[in-house]
Structure 1
Amino acid sequence: MPRRFFQNLLFIPLALSLSGCANLLFYPDRAMRLTPDVLGLKYEDVNLTASDGTRLHGWFLLADGEPRGTVFFLHGNAQNISTHIRSVAWLPETGYQVFLLDYRGYGLSEGSPGLPEVLTDVAAGFQWLLNEPRVTTKNLFVLGQSLGANLAAYFAGANPEVRHRLSAMVLDAPFASYREITREKLSQLLITWPLQYPLSWLMPDDYSPIKNIAELSPLPLLIICSETDEIVPAHHSIALFKAASEPKSLWLTQGFHIATFGQEKNRRRVLSFLKEHER
C-alpha cells in the first residue's frame, strides 16, 4: 500500500490524543444565520457567565399570552442556536417560553468547546433560569437534541437539585456513549476502520448518559429516536431507554437526524407530553 496510507494511520491516533477527540464531538459556527424576529418570535438576548468566567449567549423566546411553562433547549453539536431555532420555534404559540443556549465556542459565546467544560455552560444556563422571575413559578422542562440530549441527561442525572426542579425531560436522538458513537463513526472510514476500537478508547466516556440515566427517576423521561436516523442510530436510544428507570417512554419515528419537529404529529405528541407533566 502507499506510504501515505500508513502515515495517515499513524497520524490519526496522535491527532486524536492531542485534540482530546474534541473534533469528533463539536462543530461550532460563529456566524448567526438569523434572529428569532425573522420567524415572527418575540425574544430577548441573554448574556451570562459560566463558573470559569466564560461569557455565554442565548435567546429567551417569549410565549404568546400567559406562559404555562418554560423549555430549556440544548442543541446538537453543529452550528449554533440560529440554525437550531426551528426545532423549538413552534413552542411559544402553544404557551411555552423557550431558553436557547449556545455552548462556549458557538455563536456569540466565548471560548472553545470541550468536555466537561460545556457541562458548566449547561449549569450556568440552568442557574439563569432559576434566577429568572418569569420562570421560577412555572413548569420547567428540558429538551435536548443529539449532543444536547446527552448533556441534558448527564447533567440532570448528576444533580439531584436539578431533577427536583424539573417537571419532565425530552431527549431527541441521544447517543448512549461518547466512546461507542466514536467507534461507530471511525468504522465508517476506510482509513480508520482497522483501528476503530483502539482509537475509540481515546474518547473519554465519563460523561456518557448511559452512566447515570437511571438516576433521573422519578423525573418523567421521554426519549425520541428515528428508525431511519443515519447519524445516531436508534439502538442508542433503545439502550438508554432500557437503562433508565420509570417513568419513561420511548417513541420511534421516521425521518432524518433531529428533524423530529418538522412533522406536526411529533409536535403534537411532545406538546401532549409536556401538558401531561405540568405541575
Structure 2
Amino acid sequence: MAALFLNRCSALLLVLLLTGCEALLFYPQRQLLRDPAAVGLAYREVSIPVADSALHGWWLPAQEPRATLLFAHGNAENISTHLASVYWLPSEGINVLLVDYRGYGRSPGRPSLDNAVADLQASWHWLLAQGDAAPLPLLGFGQSLGASLMGVAVAREREALAGRLKGLVLDAGFADYASIAREQAAKAPLTWLLQLPVAWAMPKGYDLIDALPQLPRAPLLIVHGRQDTVVGVQHAQRLFERAAQPKQLYLYDGGHIGSFHDRLSRQRLLDFIADSLAD
C-alpha cells in the first residue's frame, strides 16, 4: 500500500514538473511588509512601463551619488523583504532602484522567465532615460534567481549598456536551470528518480553560464556562500571559470544570500564598486 502511494505521488509530481517547471521557479508575495521609510530611508515610488502594464519599484536616492545600481531580487516574496540587501548603499553614495517582477508586490501580471527578463530590460531602459541618473555610471546586482535574470537581461541589452555599465555583481547565482533542478530533485527520496526528467523539462535559453560570454565588457564580481545549501558553491566556481576578465570571485562563510548582512562582505562590495568606477 505504501509503495502504491509513493508511486502515485511520484507520477503526479512528474506530471506537475514536466508541465509546469517554469511556474515552480516563482514564489511571489503580493503584500509589501514594509517600505524604505521604515528603516529611515528617503525614497519614491516608481512605475516602469512594460508590454501589458507597469512595474512597481522603489528609488532610493543617495545624497551625493557616484553611481546608480539596479537590484534584481530572488524568486520569493518581493522588494520589501529583500530591502536588507541594499538599504545601506545610499549612505555610501549609490542610488538604488529596486523593482518587482510582474506578479510580485504591486506589479500586476504573471511571473515567467520571459517576463522577468523583459522586466529587467525595461528597468535598464528606464534608468538610461532618466535625466538625473543618466550621467552616472550604472551597476547591476542580482541575487539567486535574480542573478540569472540579471545576467540574461544585461546580455540582451549589451549594446545599450556598452560603456555605461561599470560593474556587475552576481550573488548566489546558479549556472544553469537543468543543474539546479537536478540537484534539488536529488535531495528528497520522493523525487530522487526524477532528476533527469526534471532537468530535461527546465526552460531553455535563459542559463546564466551561457549569458556570461555575451555581457558587455565591465568588471564582474561573483559572490557565494561556502555553506549555501540552496545553490551549491560549485555553481559560483563554474560561472567564474566561464566569465571573461575582468572578474573576481568572493566566497564567504555563510548560507544563501547572506552575503551583505555583515560588515566584511559589504566592504568587499564597496571596494569592488570603487575599483570599477576608477577604471
Q: Which residue of 2 aligns with 1:59?
A: 58
Q: Which residue of 2 aligns with 1:87?
A: 85
CA distance in structure 2 between the partners assigned to 1:131 and 1:216 by the alignment = 21
Matches within 5 A, 1:102-113: 102-113=100-111
Q: Would you say how many aligned residue pairs link Structure 1 and Structure 2? A: 276
Q: Indicate if the aligned counterparts of 2:55 and 2:102 stay in contact, CA closer than 8 A.
A: yes
Query: Any idea what the Cα deviations from partners look like across 1:191-245, whole Å, max 9, x if unmatched?
Result: 1101211222111131001112022252110101111111111100110100111
Q: Which residue of 2 aligns with 1:171?
A: 170
Q: Which residue of 1 aligns with 2:37?
A: 37
CA distance in structure 2 between the partners assigned to 1:134 and 1:185 by the alignment = 44
Q: Which residue of 2 aligns with 1:228?
A: 227
Q: What is the SS of the residue equivalent to 1:236? A: helix
Q: Is 2:72 aligned against 1:71? A: no
Is the alpha carbon distance of 1:47 and 1:139 closer, same or farther for their aligned partners in structure 2, counting shifts above 3 Å? Answer: same
Q: Which deviates further from its counterpart, 154-163 or 105-114?
A: 154-163
**What is the root-mean-square deviation of aligned Cα atoms in Å?**
1.3
Query: Any idea what the Cα deviations from partners look like across 1:171-209, whole Å, max 9, x if unmatched?
Result: 111000011101111111111101211222111131001
Q: Indicate if the aligned counterparts of 1:217 and 1:244 stay in contact, CA closer than 8 A.
A: no
CA distance in structure 1 between the partners assigned to 2:194 and 2:275 by the alignment = 47
Q: Which residue of 1 aligns with 2:208?
A: 209
Q: Indicate if the aligned counterparts of 1:163 and 1:219 stay in contact, CA closer than 8 A.
A: no
CA distance in structure 1 between the partners assigned to 2:91 and 2:167 by the alignment = 20
CA distance in structure 1 between the partners assigned to 2:222 and 2:198 by the alignment = 29
Q: Which residue of 2 aligns with 1:150?
A: 148
CA distance in structure 2 between the partners assigned to 1:265 and 1:128 by the alignment = 32
Q: CA deviation at 1:162?
A: 4.1
Q: Indicate if the aligned counterparts of 1:163 and 1:216 stay in contact, CA closer than 8 A.
A: no
Q: Indicate if the aligned counterparts of 2:59 and 2:98 stay in contact, CA closer than 8 A.
A: yes
Q: What is the SS of the residue equivalent to 1:278? A: helix
CA distance in structure 2 between the partners assigned to 1:24 and 1:242 by the alignment = 29
Q: What is the SS of the residue equivalent to 2:142? A: strand
Q: Which residue of 2 aligns with 1:257?
A: 256
Q: CA deviation at 1:28?
A: 0.5
Partner amino acid for 1:30? R
Partner amino acid for 1:176? A
CA distance in structure 2 between the partners assigned to 1:221 and 1:104 by the alignment = 27
Query: Any idea what the Cα deviations from partners look like across 1:128-175, whole Å, max 9, x if unmatched?
Result: 111111210001100111111111111222332244120110111100
CA distance in structure 1 between the partners assigned to 2:113 and 2:52 by the alignment = 16
The normalised TM-score by structure 1 is 0.95
Q: Which residue of 2 aligns with 1:123?
A: 121
Partner amino acid for 1:47? S
Q: Which residue of 2 aligns with 1:98?
A: 96
Where do 5+ consecutive residues of structure 1 fail to align? Answer: none
Q: What is the SS of the residue equivalent to 1:116? A: helix
Q: Which deviates further from its counterpart, 137-146 or 217-226?
A: 217-226
Q: Percent identity?
A: 40
